[in-house]
Amino acid sequence: MNRKQRFQDRRRKRFRKSALRFIFSVLLVLVGGFIYDNMNLDMVFKEIFANDEIIKEPVNEVSSVVSRKGPLDLDERFTYSESFAKEADLNRNNIFIGDNYKDIKIDPNGLADAADSRAAEQIEGDAKYASSAEPEQKVQQADAPENDVHTKTVYLTFDDGPNQFSDQLLAVLESYNAKATFFMIDRNIRSFPDAVNHMIAAGHSVGLHSVSHNVKVFYQSASSVISEMNQVHDTVKEVTGLDTMLIRTPYGSVPYMQDSYLQAVHDNGYLMWDWNIDSKDWYYRDRRYVDTSIAQLEAHAESTEPLVILLHEREETLAHLPELLEYLKSQNYKMKALDSSMTPVAFK
């Protein structure tokens, strides 16, 4: 081999090496893209982001539901799972956008007490949808018998207990001659069985509020819903001897309860209660929940449905409960416990 041949040979080898490197890079990009597309990794990340560690508070506890027919704004087009991540914004705006982008729930009270003007501005655009619900309410008013001030009734419901505050809560209720309903979680019943017996002895109603209290676990299927309710039903029976069929699903039935789940609940004889007055005690964690409840009560004054207030067994709720009960007493409301002869209030 002379010098010229050696030079050409080296050049050929160098060319071959860089060509191979190029082909390898192209293949790497293609294979990477294929894996990403087919494994749907962005869904995996979304799942992780929407895991239950992040869901510390309910995102859908709102008091009224309106349907929206028109197209949604761009920023409203987030998906169901993303809505968990937007929890902070949802709380501030009092708006929750459900599955299928079509149900928007607006808390009318949120409009009134929005101290945050930015939130008020954002809500304004949706207010016209809330007012579209009015004609229906007027029809109900026309049919309603005239309310005697002495027969007004309100149903206080306390979720997530029992706990170390239950007995104090019972004492406050007793001092106002108020009856209430407690929707309770399995492990809490096991931890505070005496409290459950005290509730029953005092004439309150007890209901079932799941085992897991976890959206992803509880709402997995119709059978997960039923088996959790069956378990907590059996726990109440074991601890108190009482057979209760009153239930409230974690965070309320919308948007999680599918038609087949509702059918299963019905078929198993359970009576599922949502609410129509959301005190938002879990959100405010101070006395503001009292004003919120009163404003919604006044807005519902002509309602023919039973007035059901959502509250929680929390220390802050207990601290300001006398103020709410004082108001109810002054307005001649009777505070009664739910019972199985009533037609449950349920979100549409």
Judged by the rule CB under 5 A, the positions of this chain that interact with Zn ion are: 159-160
Minimum distance from residue 213 beta carbon to Zn ion (Å) = 6
Is-catalytic flag, 312?
A: yes
Please, which residues bridge with residue 153 across strands? 334
Minimum distance from residue 208 beta carbon to Zn ion (Å) = 11
Q: What are the C-alpha distances in Å from 139 to residues 144, 306, 345?
A: 9, 17, 18
Name the residue nearer to Zn ion (CB basis): 284 or 327.
Answer: 284
Task: Return d(Cα 195, Cα 136) in angstroms, integer.
Answer: 42
Name the residue nearer to Zn ion (CB basis): 113 or 316.
Answer: 316
Measured at CB, which residue is nearest to Zn ion?
A: 159
Task: Return d(Cα 177, Cα 313) in angstroms, integer.
Answer: 18
Tokens of 143: 């049919």
Tokens of 58: 């309910």
Name the residue nearer to Zn ion (CB basis): 57 or 298.
Answer: 57
Prior bond to 250 cis, omega within 30? no
Task: Return d(Cα 81, Cα 50) in angstroms, integer.
Answer: 6
The catalytically annotated residue of 103, 107, 126, 159 is 159
Minimum distance from residue 293 beta carbon to Zn ion (Å) = 17
Minimum distance from residue 201 beta carbon to Zn ion (Å) = 24
Name the residue nearer to Zn ion (CB basis): 160 or 281.
Answer: 160
CB 256 within 8 A of CB 231: no
Buried-exposed string 275-305: b where 16+ CB fall within 10 A, e elsewhere = bbbbbbbbbbeeebbbbbbbbbbebbeebee
Give catalytic residues, as residue numbers. 159, 312
